[in-house]
């Protein structure tokens, strides 16, 4: 029981994001290995294999069109944030590729940009880096400062900011541009109640203007309210992709049984969801496009 609104015949129009057979794995060094075996020479030559592969995301394809708001749900470590980072271009996939009609803008909060510079200078620099003309920056400066809630601290170097302050500034800079493709990772979004209200207001505004939205959230309420399509990921696998009501209630049942300790039953729900999945794949009209 998958989505039926995309017939398999006829070319899809208005596609804004294509996630084409993307998978992500990385190798990390494990501490568990036998130390005596690894000599400096072997380390330099990368011969010691105490590195463990972690699959953050197994092969996955998604096609998203203009006007869709895609919610991404799943437990911790399910690959939600990885997926959004792949779409934003912050990480390159191990295999496959992500195509977009426009530069996706990520609304998350990171660390300070340039710690030595004042908040105000960081705003100008960040906006210039996104390609905004100077006149527009000057025009938007007041609203950016207001959104960040930093007041006169905006003239202090960013290294003097608390982590909350710098993440607010970072958010305000990213939110100053009206992107066509908007990525929101709510897991990162912290801050006091006052800032949450202000940022929510701005996010709603951006969401209305944006053509395509990806929203990662742990709040099923938010997802139901805002999304037209929901994707459920678990341990790096796509389990469901479809109507928000349907996916959210399946996910809710799954987590409820998990917290009650009914692991075998939860596993069954998981398998059932996957067995019903109608996955999509890109049938490329332009061969050679994927070579990169």
Partner 1 sequence: MTGKRTDLPGPAQTISLPVDTRGLVRVGARPPLLEYLVKIWDHRAFVFYDAKARVQTGNRKDRLGSAWMILNPIFNGLTFYLIFGLLLQTGRGIENFLGYLIVGVFLFQFSSRSIMGGSKSIRSNLALIQAFEFPRAALLLSVNIREMIAIVPVLLTMLVLVLALPPEETVSWLWFFLIPVVALQAVFNLGVGLLLARLVSQIADVANLLSFAMRLWMYGSAVFFSYERFIGNEVLLSIVQWNPMFQVLDIARDCILYETVPDLRSWLILSIWALGALVIGLIYFWRGEETYGKD
Site for partner 1 in 130-169 (CB under 8 A): 130-131, 133-134, 157
User: Please, which of residues 165-224 interact with partner 1 by CB under 8 A?
Assistant: 170, 174
Label the pairing between strands 105-107 and 237-242: unpaired
In whole angstroms, what is the distance from residue 245 CA to residue 223 CA? 9
Q: Give the interface segment with partner 1, choosing from 3-11, 68-76, 197-205, 252-260 (CB under 8 A).
A: 3-11
Question: How many residues form the binding site for partner 1 (CB under 8 A)?
Answer: 72
Q: How far is the CB of 174 from partner 1 (least distance, A)?
A: 8
Q: Are 228 and 245 in contact (CB under 8 A)?
A: no
**Closer to partner 1 by Cβ: residue 166 or 217:** 166
Which pair of tokens denotes residue 202? 């701005």
Contact status: 250 vs partner 1 (CB under 8 A): no
Contact status: 237 vs partner 1 (CB under 8 A): yes
**Closer to partner 1 by Cβ: residue 138 or 225:** 138
In whole angstroms, what is the distance from residue 26 CA to residue 85 CA? 14
Label the pairing between strands 212-216 and 95-100: unpaired
Which pair of tokens denotes residue 21? 């057979």
In whole angstroms, what is the distance from residue 108 CA to residue 174 CA? 8
Q: Give the interface segment with partner 1, choosing from 12-20, 189-197, 222-230, 251-259 (CB under 8 A).
A: 12-20
Q: Give the interface segment with partner 1, choosing from 34-42, 86-94, 191-199, 222-230 (CB under 8 A).
A: 86-94
Among 72, 83, 98, 153, binds partner 1 (CB under 8 A): 98
Half-sphere CA count of 229, side-chain side, radius 13 A:
21
């Amino acid at each position: 029981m998958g989505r039926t609104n995309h017939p398999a015949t006829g070319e899809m129009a208005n596609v804004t994001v294509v996630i084409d057979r993307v998978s992500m794995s990385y190798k990390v060094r494990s501490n568990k290995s036998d130390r005596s075996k690894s000599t400096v020479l072997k380390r330099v030559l990368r011969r010691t294999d105490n590195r463990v592969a972690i699959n953050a995301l197994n092969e996955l394809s998604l096609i998203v069109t203009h006007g869709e708001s895609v919610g991404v749900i799943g437990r911790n470590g399910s690959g939600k944030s990885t997926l959004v980072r792949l779409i934003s271009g912050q990480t390159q996939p191990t295999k496959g590729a992500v195509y977009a009609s426009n530069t996706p803008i990520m609304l998350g909060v990171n660390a300070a940009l340039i710690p030595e510079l004042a908040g105000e200078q960081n705003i100008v620099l960040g906006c210039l880096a996104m390609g905004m003309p100077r006149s527009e920056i000057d025009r938007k400066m007041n609203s950016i400062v207001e959104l960040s809630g930093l007041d006169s601290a905006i003239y202090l170097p960013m290294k003097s900011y608390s982590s909350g302050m710098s993440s607010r500034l970072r958010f305000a800079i990213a939110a100053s541009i009206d992107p066509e493709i908007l990525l929101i990772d709510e897991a990162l979004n912290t801050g006091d109640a006052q800032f949450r209200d202000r940022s929510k207001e701005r996010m709603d505004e951006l969401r209305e203007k944006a053509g395509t939205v990806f929203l990662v959230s742990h709040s099923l309420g938010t997802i139901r309210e805002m999304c037209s399509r929901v994707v459920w990921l678990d341990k790096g696998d796509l389990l469901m992709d479809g109507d928000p009501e349907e996916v959210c209630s399946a996910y809710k049942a799954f987590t409820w049984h998990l917290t009650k300790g009914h692991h075998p039953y939860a596993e069954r729900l998981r398998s059932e969801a996957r067995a019903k999945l109608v996955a999509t794949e890109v049938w490329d009209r332009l061969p050679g496009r994927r070579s990169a």
